[in-house]
Structure 1
């Protein structure tokens, strides 16, 4: 399997308006009589069809940022925009995939993938055609009539990805979707996701704790710092073939080491300097 990422981050954002814009977003939560700042003045642009990963230490606000973009949380200050419109709640243009598969256990793979299409009122024949297209795209055509309990964890997550793709979102928001899987399955799912993305492009924001995963998948890696959550560094990944040769290359090792250092050796001065960086 070989897949190519989107154009590098700067080229992507310079050639067309941002698909996702985060403008000075701050999010605070009440903790008794005190408040906790999960995000502090975060600004970020993501281009149409760009694949961006977000990595950082626990408590840096990665999931809070995704929840704001999904419309599940509202910023305390600032704005989150999709296609120039402020996010005011969940919308069909944004598909969300969590670490938990959230499949209906009493429905088959096909029925799970068709579920969103049914709620949209799509005709049965078109619903079936569309579901079968995305089931094939994620390599589950042999298991279309299987129940989730008979599938491996990786297969269940592929079903969740097919379901998200089927309703036609222009954006996929993915929060640690492979975090509960074993290492080998995780690598296979990373390759499968890139293969699916290369065939049927979407704008992807992918949250992970895994530095290798962040580098392998993305055209841009956003490193966040915690307490409060803010952007610490933005690292471009060259547009090269994403395959085993890339994983084992010196270039990958250098990128991995840079991201690792940014995640685990953060200093206050650099964090303050890059807190509102956009590219």
Structure 2
């Protein structure tokens, strides 16, 4: 399978008073085209830093990050980024929020409308296309943010705990909706989360990080079929994989997780 994202011996350090904080320590990881990979780990393990480097928002201190074999040197339209905070323009409707990036790309009006309508339909917000963000629930706001990322037609979706601020029911609903959209659109997804159940439910592989310095501790394959359903979530097979990931995250050697 073709590699879409490649982290090659990546090191990231941040300066402190008299020393340097090592956020990531020689991380190597390949993500295949159209694969859904989740990253989970203890606080301070460098999950968000890893995603930010793939997005081109943070440069590695050593090593390199490749997308389609080319070094990442900055943000680009080939990578859609979705954060925990919705970052919607409050004065724009759902439609105009989703269309915003397409206007920046100077696409013709007809093509903007086609892409915008398609993205809004993908996330199930067709009845709210003309609503302002203040009238939407948290889950609907996040769906709008996802639609905005999809509208620019990225090949890669980079998601940093996008459902972290939602209530439990909205979170489960958004997980199912995201998987439905992913199976339809077949993007490559790198999804950062602190929730073990979410990590297992969404992914074909779960990357468990170790903290301080951040590094890959274990990669576990999720050998469960898509589409994922409530039956799968409640199955013994799911519980077994979930327990393996939980143990890998929370029972690492003390030296790996100490502050």
Q: TM-score, normalised by structure 1?
A: 0.90
Larger relative contact order (Cα-Cα within 8 Å, sequence gap ≥ 6): 1
| Structure 1 gap ranges (5+) | 1-15, 272-279
Aligned residue pairs total 255
Q: 2:242 aligns with which of 235, 248, 256?
A: 256
Residue pairs, 1:226-237, within 5 angstroms: 226-237=211-222
Structure 1 residues 202 and 91: CA distance shift in structure 2, 3 A: same
Alignment partners' CA distance in 2, 1:40 and 1:268 = 17
Q: 2:40 aligns with which of 37, 55, 69?
A: 55
Alignment partners' CA distance in 2, 1:124 and 1:201 = 26
| Structure 2 gap ranges (5+) | none
Shift of 1:17: 2.6
In structure 1, what is the equivalent of residue 202 of structure 2? 217
Are 1:244 and 2:230 matched, yes or no? yes
Q: 2:134 aligns with which of 149, 154, 173?
A: 149
In structure 2, what is the equivalent of residue 118 of structure 1? 103
Alignment partners' CA distance in 2, 1:212 and 1:161 = 21
Q: TM-score, normalised by structure 2?
A: 0.97
Are 1:133 and 2:108 matched, yes or no? no
In structure 2, what is the equivalent of residue 88 of structure 1? 73
Alignment partners' CA distance in 1, 2:35 and 2:66 = 16
Structure 1 residues 120 and 163: CA distance shift in structure 2, 3 A: same
Alignment partners' CA distance in 1, 2:63 and 2:254 = 23
Poorly superposed stretches of 4+, deviation over 2 Å: none
